[in-house]
Chains A and B, each alone.
Chain A
Amino acid sequence: MKRVARGLGLGIAGWLIGLNLAAVIRGTQHVNDQANIGIAYVFALSGWLLGVGVWDAWVRGWLGLKPKAEEPDEGWRRYFSFCTDHKVIGIQYLVTFVIVFLIAGLLAMFMRWELMSAGETIMNKATFNEIMSLHGILMISVAVAGVLGGFGNYLVPLQIGADDMAFPRLNALSYWLIPPVAIMLLLAPLAGGFDSGWTAYPPLSETNDVGQVFFILAIITFGLSSILGGLNLLTTVTTMRAKGMKWSRLPIFTWSVFSASILSVLITQFFAASLLMVFLGRAIGMGFFDAAKGGDPILYQHLFWFYSHPAVYIMILPGFGILLEVLSHFSRKPLFAYKLTVGAFLAIVVLSVVVWAHHMFTSGMSNTLHGPFMILTEAISVPTGIIFLSALGTIWRGKLWLKTPMLFALAMVFNFLIGGITGIFLADVATDMNLQDTYFVVAHFHYTIMGGEIFAFFAGIYYWYPKVTGRMYNEAMGKIHAIWMFIGFNAVFIPLFYVGVQGMNRRVADYPLAYERGNLVASISAFVLGCSFLLFTWNMIWSRFKGEKAPSNPWNATTLEWMTESPPPEHNFEGTPVVHDSPYVYGLEDGLHAELGEQEPELVGAGRPE
C-alpha cells in the first residue's frame, strides 16, 4: 500500500520533472511537444517503478546496500503491494483485466448505440473513431494478458507442482507495469485521443492528435510487461516441474501457456519497434513511413502484423488450453489425442509467424506475395483443426457434466467453429478482396477472440473460482449467464456477417440506410449481451462473500491444483507433489496423476526425470 502510494507520488513527480527538464534542455515552449512527452513518460515510469518496488527489490542489491526489512502487507492489502506470491499476482491480473473488460464493453455499448440507426445518433464521427480505437486496444490487452497473465500466473505453478514462479520479483514487476498502461490509455482522450484504431496505421497515426503518443508509450510498456511475463512462464515450466512431471505429463493448459509464451517473448518486440518508429516519426521527423521522405507506410503493416497476427494465437492458445482442460474434466474422459494436440500447439507457434501478410492483401504490397501467404494461412487451419478434433474426440461418448464451465466450453466449440470457417474466406485472396474492411472481418474476429478466447476466459473463471476464492459461485446464476451470453453473442454477430457481406464498412460511425435493419438487430442484441455481465459481476461479488465454502476439489478433477486447499496456502502444497501418470486419468483403473509425498521442508528441486 505504502509503496504504491510512493510509486504514484514519484511517478507524478517524474512526469513533471521530465516534462520541464526536457523543455528546458531542448528549448521548446510548446506543452504538447511530443518528444518532451516521451521523455517525461520515461521519467514518470522510472519513478513509478522505483517507488512501487524496484528500488527495494533490486536496486538496493545492485548498489550493495543492505536489504531493507519491511513488514509485508497482510490480507487484502497484499493486492495493492509489490507482492511476489504468484497467486496474488494472478488475482491482480484477473481483477484488473475483468475491470478493463467491463470498461471496454461499455464503450462497445456506446458504439452499438451510435450504430443503431444511420446518421449521427449520439456522437460525432470523430468521437466514434476514438471510442472505437479505445475499445479495440483495451480489449486486445484483455485478450493478450487476461488469460496468460491471470490464469497463467495463478495456475501454471500449481499445475506443475511448484511453489512459485521462477522469478517472483520479476513477476510482480510485470504486473506493476500494467497500471501505467491503463492510466495512459484512459488519459489519452484528454490529450485529444487517438482515432487510428488499435492497429495505429501510419500515415494517420503519424499525423493525428497527441493522444496517439500516449497510446504508443502505453503499448510499448505493455509489450515489456508481456515479454517479462512470458519469459517467467517459460522458465518456470522448464525448470520447476515437480518430480515425475515429464513434458508428456504436463496439463494441456500449461502446454498452451508455454506455447503462447514462446510467441509473446519473441514477436512482441516487433510491435514495440514499429511503434517506436511511429513515435520517432512524430517527434523528430524520421521518415520510415513518410512517403515524402522516401519511406513506406506498408513497412509499418509488415512489422505490425508480424507481431499482431501471431498475437491472436497468444490470445487463443491459452483459450484452447482452458477449453480442453474443462472438456476433459467435465466429460470424465482422458483428453483425446494429447500428444498430437501438443504438437498442434507447437506447429501453430511456428506457422503463425509466416502468415502475417494475409492482413495486407489489399494494401498494395507485391502481388507475388499473395499466393504464398494465402497457402500458408490456409495451412494453419490444419493444426487448428487437430485441436478442434481433440475437443470433439474428448466429448465424444463422454459423460457430460453440464456445469457452468462446461456450458461455456461447449459454447466456445460452437463459436470457434463459425469463427474458423469464416476465416477461410478472409484467407482466400479472391474473396478477401471484397470482404476486406467490412463488418464481415469484425464479426469473424469477434467470433474467434470473443466467442473463442473470452468464452474460454469465462469458463476458466467459473471453473477455478472455487480454487481461487475458496467459495462456490452460484450455479443457477452461472448457468443463466452462460446461456444468456451465448445467445446474446450470436445475436450480435450473425447480423454483422450479413451486413458485412453486403459491404458495410467497419470503423465508420455512419452507413447507408440499406444496412439499417441488420444494425438494429445487432445493437439491440448487444444491449442484451451487455446486461449479461451485470449478472456475472453480481454473481462474482455475492459469491465471494456469501457463497458456500468450497471443498479442495469440487469437480473431482485430477490435476495438481485440485490437490491442495481452496484457496491454496502460501507455499501451495502441504507435501511435495510426485507425478505418476498423465493428468487425465478418468475412467482408468488405478489411474493416479499425482500424489503429495512427504513434506520436504528445505528445498524443492528440478523436476527433470532422471
Chain B
Amino acid sequence: MAAATVEAAGHHDTLDPKTRLRANRLGLWIFIASESFLFAAVIAARFYLLGVDRPEHLNQELALLITAVLLLSSVSAFRAEDAMAHNDRPAFFRNMSATLFFGLVFMVGVFFEYREGMEFFPPQTLYGSVFFITIGLHAFHVLTGMIALALVINLAAKGHYGRDDYWGVEATVKYWHFVDVAWVFIYPALYLVSW
C-alpha cells in the first residue's frame, strides 16, 4: 500500500520536478500518519483490554533479537538511500540487499514467535487476540516493505534511479523506517510493560 502513494512523474504530469517531489513527500508522510493511527488502534485495544498485564511465557530473548535486527535494517536502509543520493551504486546495492536480508531474518523470527504464541496463548485467548492482530498487522507491513525493497533493487539493477531521481528508493526506505517506528512502540507494548 505504501507504494500506492509512489507517484512517479507520469505522462500527464504537469508539475515541475521540485513541486512533484514536495507533493510526493507530503503524500507519503500523510499516508504514514494515517497508518500510525491503525497501529495506535490495536495498541490502544491492548491497554484497554489487558491494562499492563503480560503473560508469563514470552520469549524475551527472541524478541530482543528481532528488535535488534529491525533496528540494524534501518541503518542499512538509511545508508542505501544516501548512497543513491550520491550516485554510489555499489554501496546502494550492498545496503539495500542487507536491508532485505535483515527483513527476512525478522520475518523468520516472527514465525518462531508465532509458533510459540500458538502454544502458550492461542488467538482465542485475550492476550493471544491482541498479540496476533498486532504482530500480524506489523508483519503484513514488513512483508509489503520487503516486496517494495525487492522491486526497487530490481529497478535499480535495470538502470533506473540516479542522483536527481530516486524517489522510488526514498519512498521505500521511508516506509521501511516507518515499519521500524511502529515496532518501537509495539515491542514495549507487547513484551515489556508491567505495572
| Interface positions of A (Cβ within 8 A of B) | 58, 61-64, 67, 84, 163-164, 166-170, 173, 224, 227-228, 230-232, 234-236, 238-240, 265-270, 272-274, 276-277, 280-281, 284-288, 293-296, 299, 302-303, 306, 571, 603-606
Contact = CB atoms under 8 A, between A and B. Distances in A.
A62 B147 CA distance: 10
Interface stretch (B35-43, B66-74, B106-114, B176-184): B35-43
30 contacts: A58-B4, A62-B3, A62-B155, A63-B154, A64-B154, A164-B14, A166-B23, A167-B23, A230-B30, A231-B34, A239-B26, A280-B129, A280-B133, A284-B123, A285-B124, A286-B123, A286-B124, A286-B128, A287-B125, A288-B129, A293-B124, A293-B126, A295-B129, A296-B48, A303-B41, A603-B14, A603-B16, A604-B15, A605-B15, A606-B19
B37 A267 contact: yes
Interface in B10-45: 10-12, 14-16, 18-19, 22-23, 26-27, 30-31, 33-35, 37-38, 40-42, 44-45
A167 B5 contact: yes
Contact of A239 (B23, B38, B40): B23
B48 A302 contact: yes
Contact of B41 (A168, A273, A281): A273
A239 B4 CA distance: 19
Nearest to A268: B34
A232 B19 contact: no
Taking each of B37, B38, B123, B154, which has the highest tally of chain A beta carbons within 10 Å of its own beta carbon?
A: B37
List 9 A-B pairs, minimum CB-CB distance, nearest first.
A273-B41, A286-B129, A294-B126, A269-B38, A269-B37, A603-B16, A166-B23, A239-B23, A606-B19
Contacts of A306: 41
B7 interface: yes
Contact of B49 (A173, A265, A267, A299): A299
B115 interface: no
B14 A604 contact: yes
A67 B128 CA distance: 46
Contacts of A164: 12, 14
Interface string B120-158: 000111101110110000000000000000010011001
B7 A167 contact: yes
Contact of B7 (A67, A169, A269): A169
Given A84-B12, A267-B37, A273-B41, A235 B125 contact: no
A49 to B, nearest CB: 10
A228 B5 CA distance: 9
A254 to B, nearest CB: 16
User: Is chain A's binding surface mostly helix, strand, loop or mixed?
Assistant: helix
Contacts of B30: 230-231, 234-235, 265
B37 A270 contact: yes
A87 B40 CA distance: 35
A286 B125 CA distance: 7
Contact of A231 (B16, B31, B124, B132): B31
Nearest to A266: B37
A168 B4 contact: no
B143 to A, nearest CB: 14
Given A303-B44, A603-B14, A265 B124 contact: no
Nearest to B8: A61
Contacts of B163: none
B39 to A, nearest CB: 9
Contacts of B12: 84, 164, 168
A287 B129 contact: yes
B94 interface: no
Contact of A273 (B22, B42, B125): B42
Contacts of B33: 265-266
A72 to B, nearest CB: 10
A571 to B, nearest CB: 8
Given A299-B45, A299-B49, A235 B26 contact: yes
B86 interface: no
Contacts of A167: 5, 7, 23, 27
B183 to A, nearest CB: 17
A277 B134 CA distance: 11
Contacts of B31: 227, 231
A135 B40 CA distance: 31
B26 A273 contact: no
B123 to A, nearest CB: 5
Nearest to A173: B4
B18 to A, nearest CB: 7
Given A67-B11, A167-B27, 14 more contacts: A64-B158, A166-B23, A167-B5, A173-B4, A235-B27, A236-B23, A240-B15, A273-B45, A281-B129, A286-B128, A288-B130, A293-B126, A299-B45, A303-B45
A280 B49 CA distance: 16
Contacts of B49: 288, 294-296, 299
Contacts of B10: 168-169
Given A287-B126, A603-B16, A272 B38 contact: yes
A277 B133 contact: yes
A605 B34 contact: no
Contacts of B8: 61
B139 to A, nearest CB: 14
A284 B132 CA distance: 11
A221 to B, nearest CB: 12
B5 A170 contact: yes
B133 A276 contact: yes
Given A286-B124, A606-B18, A238 B26 contact: yes
Taking each of B38, B41, B151, B154, which has the highest tally of chain A beta carbons within 10 Å of its own beta carbon?
A: B41
A239 to B, nearest CB: 4
Contacts of A272: 38
A238 B27 CA distance: 10
A266 B155 contact: no
Nearest to A298: B48
B129 A64 contact: no
A240 B38 contact: no
A603 B15 contact: yes
A58 B38 CA distance: 25
Contacts of B158: 64
A239 B22 contact: yes
A276 B126 CA distance: 16
A168 B15 CA distance: 12
A90 B133 CA distance: 36
Contact of A285 (B27, B123, B133, B155): B123
A40 B148 CA distance: 24
A174 B128 CA distance: 34
A169 B11 CA distance: 11
